[in-house]
Structure 1
């Protein structure tokens, strides 16, 4: 219909286009063929390809979706051409998966490395930036794991597939930066450097804990780890410990 005047809201053009009505039956056949071919190819990729979306699997999904769409309803796209493209995409995925298993450098290049976000209750702000996560994003995921303050956390790793691996203190968690209630609803009270505070305080930027001296009190210094000057009272959260121990 290129070059011809378009009649707005023409039902025949809107629903059938330039193809005869019998082409609808061909679309059904094309869709069934491509669907069955995709089912077979996804079966070939193995269960690992269906369990998670690493960068390699995400590229495969995008490529398969792009290659499978056109032959469903474009009569000028032959089915064999599309099936060849889909087969080549899955074949490349199998070849790269083989290289990932056999060569650690290839695995690192394609899937990246885990990023350590928390160690012994303290944050790594640069690692959060590298993982493209904010502190609020991290705290939200930790709260799902039942964490109420960072002293309960031994290690947190941001894995290649985007999930978090969280290792908690088994018992007797030291004081740490509170992450409950959620910061976006009720931020913890802040104390600036120079104030006189009794009890442990945690840096609101990196989570480092400072055990203040007993009276007579001394002014709070800047954080010795990140040089920031904002603190908040740290908590040991005995309620969280009882919950994890099953009491």
Structure 2
């Protein structure tokens, strides 16, 4: 019951924010429709006046009142457009002039409370989705993933992190991207387990680095590894010399597996 109450509060807050956004979009659409309607009305008036003037000119009689009306409409439209442009320019200049360092620092450190609330709600929803995904994917670590699976995990990190901050990416869009990527990952994982041919086609084959105590230089080149890196891997595994190794391979998960030469270890003992 204790965990249900915060979840219900979050859902109510999220629903309220969605309602406010929808209300704002409806008002903006209504204002745009009204502006377009007024523009269409003025255009029709001008076209009708032009038709009347053309008819009168063909007959040799031009109505001065109609011409004056046309001129007034044109002047008013030009004046309104110029005033809008000057208002935009003045607004931009005022915004540039008012963008003092204090305002910039204030906006950076003390943002709008509604934006903070939006980030909190987005983070809570995405974190819940991540928890469900982790439980569904199982206990595979990063070291156990294939290169293909690792790329999917990196892509999931971007798809999960961006919606927490950027308002341009909605929660349903992020959820759809994450769910599709996870389903794709599970399908690839299932095919990898069930089909050896499919697994060999998407996962790199192990590269032989040491064979019976002798380092395979061609294998080091294929693995893009120099001798210093290989010796460091040997020391991390408790080995001092390549003669102690029977086989060493670079596995598909990026780790090096060592098979110790039993004869060398028994001689050392």
Q: How does 1:27-42 map to 2 (within 5 A)?
A: 27-42=119-134
Tell me the distance in 2 between the aligned counterparts of 1:51 and 1:173.
29
Q: Structure 1 residue 12 and structure 2 residue 109: aligned?
A: no
Partner residue in 1 for 2:231: 139
Alignment partner, residue 154 of structure 2:
62
In structure 2, the residue matched to 1:82 is 174
Give 3-state SS (helix, strand or coil) of 1:30's partner. Answer: helix
3-state DSSP of counterpart to 1:154: strand
Aligned to 1:99: 191
Question: 8 Å contact 2:143–2:253 — kept in the other structure?
Answer: no
Q: Structure 1 or 2: larger strand share?
A: 1
Q: Is the 8 A contact 2:247 2:259 kept in 1?
A: yes
User: Structure 1: how far apart are the matches of 2:214 and 2:109?
Assistant: 61
TM-score w.r.t. the length of structure 1 is: 0.64
Residue in 2 aligned with 1:229?
none
- Taking a change above 3 Å as real, the CA distance of residues 71 and 16 of structure 1, as seen in their structure-2 partners, is farther
* Corresponding residue SS for 1:22: helix
Higher helix proportion: 2
Aligned length: 173
Following superposition, the deviation at residue 66 of structure 1 comes to 1.1
1:229-244 superposed matches below 5 A: 241-242=268-269
Give a deviation string over 1:177-208, Cα, whole Å, max 9, x none: xxxxxxxxxxxxxxxxxxxxxxxxxxxxxxxx
- Contact 2:213/2:246 (CA < 8 Å) preserved in 1? yes
Unmatched segments (≥5 aa) in structure 1: 175-237, 243-247
Structure with greater Cα Rg: 2
Deviation at 1:48, TM superposition (A): 2.5
1:110 deviates by: 2.0
Q: 1:39 Cα deviation (Å)?
A: 1.4
The answer to whether the Cα contact below 8 Å between 1:49 and 1:57 also exists between their aligned partners in 2 is no
Query: RMSD of aligned C-alpha atoms?
Result: 2.2
- 1:35-50 alignment, distance < 5 Å: 35-48=127-140
5+ long unaligned stretches in structure 2: 1-91
